Amino acid sequence: MSRSSTIRGRHVLTLALLAGGAIAAIGCGRADTARLGEAGDAAARVYVAPGKYDEFYAFMSGGFDGQVGVYGLPSGRLLRHVPVFSQNPENGWGYSEQTKAMMNTSYGFVPWDDAHHPQLSQTAGIPDGRWLFINGNNTPRIARLDLTRFETDEILEIPNAGGNHSSPFITENSEYVVAGTRFSVPAPQRDVSIEDYKDAFSGVLSFVKVDSATGHMAIAFQIRMPPFDYDLSHAGKGPSHGWSFFTMYNTEQANTKLEVNASQKDKDYVAAINWKQAEQCVAQGKATTEPARYAHNIMGADGIARTEWGTSTKMLTPAACPGLVYYLPTPKSPHGADVDPTGEFIVAGGKLATVIPVHSFSKMQKAIADKAFDGEDHGIPVLKYEATVAGEVQNPGLGPLHTEFDDQGNAYTSMFLSSEIVKWSLKDFKVLDRVPTYYSIGHLMIPGGDSRKPWGKYVVALNKITKDRYLPTGPELTQSAQLYDITGDKMKLLSDFPTIGEPHYAQALPASLIQDRQLKMFSLMGNTDPYVAKNEKSTRVDRKGSVVHVMMTSVRSHFMPDKIEGIRVGDSVYFHVTNLEQDWDVPHGFAVLGASNAELLIMPGQTRTLVWIPSRAGVFPFYCTDFCSALHQEMQGYIRVSPKGSAVPVKWNSPSYHEAGEGKPAESAEHGTQ
Ligand code: RUQ
Ligand code: CUA
Residue 634 Cα to ligand 2 middle (Å): 8
Residue 589 CA to ligand 2 centre (angstroms): 6
Give the other-Cβ count within 10 Å of 530's Cβ. 10
Interval 355-401: pLDDT, tens: 999 999 999 999 999 999 999 999 999 999 999 999 999 999 999 99
Residue 112 CA to ligand 2 center (angstroms) comes to 29
**How do strand 267-274 and strand 243-249 relate by DSSP bridges?**
antiparallel
Segment 556-577, tens digit of pLDDT:
999 999 999 999 999 999 999 9
335 C-beta closer than 6 A to ligand 1: yes
Answer for the pair 489, 435: CB distance below 8 angstroms, yes or no: no
Of the candidates 86, 95, 91, which has an alpha carbon nearest to the alpha carbon of residue 65? 86
Q: What is the pLDDT of residue 90?
A: 96
Nearest atom (ligand 2) to Cα of 557: 1
d(CA 635, CA 49): 35
Q: Which amino acid is at 486?
A: I
As a residue count, the chain comes to: 674
Closest approach atom of ligand 2 to CA 588? 1
The whole-number pLDDT of residue 38 equals: 73
pLDDT given for residue 660 in this prediction: 55
Long-range pairs of 310-314 with CB within 8 A, sequence gap ≥ 24: 310/157, 310/159, 310/219, 313/159, 313/160, 313/206, 313/219, 313/221, 313/222, 313/289, 314/219, 314/220, 314/221, 314/222, 314/282, 314/287, 314/288, 314/289, 314/290
Contact 437, 460 (CB under 8 A): no
Rounded to whole angstroms, how far apart are CA atoms 579 and 587? 7
Residue 588 Cβ contacting ligand 2 at under 6 Å: yes
- The atom number, within ligand 1, closest to the CA of 505 reads 4
93: nearest Cα among 165, 143, 31, 36? 143
- Is the shortest distance between the CB of 624 and ligand 2 below 6 Å? yes
Low-confidence spans in the chain with pLDDT less than 70? 1-37, 659-674
Q: What is the pLDDT of residue 665?
A: 52
Question: What's the pTM value of the predicted model, to 2 decimals?
Answer: 0.93
Strands 540-544 and 547-555: antiparallel
Question: How far apart are the CA of 88 and the centre of ligand 1, in A?
Answer: 24
d(CA 123, CA 237): 11
CA-wise closest residue to 117 among 157, 62, 56: 62
DSSP 8-state secondary structure symbol assigned to residue 354:
S
Helix (H, G, I), strand (E, B) or coil at 276: helix
Three-state DSSP at 14 gives: helix
Q: Is there an atom of ligand 2 within 6 Å of 627 CB?
A: yes
Pocket lining: 442 vs ligand 1, CB cutoff 6 Å: yes
Most ligand 1 atoms within 8 A of CB, residue of 181, 335, 445, 499 to mutate = 335
401 pocket-lining for ligand 1 (C-beta < 6 Å): yes
**CA-wise closest residue to 73 among 59, 85, 61, 84:** 59
Smallest CA separation from ligand 2 atom 1, residue:
588
